[in-house]
Amino acid sequence: MDLNKYQRRVAEFDLFETAVDLKAPGFLEKVLGLVGEAGEAADKIKKIIRDKGGYASEEDRDAIVKELGDVLWYVASIARYLDVPLSNVAEGNIAKLESRKRRNKISGEGDER
Query: Phi and psi at residue 90, in whole multiples of 5°?
Result: -65, -45
Residues 41-100: tens digit of each pLDDT: 999 999 999 999 999 999 999 999 999 999 999 999 999 999 999 999 999 999 999 999
pTM equals 0.91
Q: Are 42 and 48 in contact (CB under 8 A)?
A: no
Domains detected in the chain: 3-84 (1.10.287)
DSSP-derived secondary structure for 19-80: -S-TTSHHHHHHHHHHHHHHHHHHHHHHHHHHHHTTPPPHHHHHHHHHHHHHHHHHHHHHHH
Residues 80-97: tens digit of each pLDDT: 999 999 999 999 999 999
Q: 3: closest CA among 67, 98, 82, 88?
A: 88
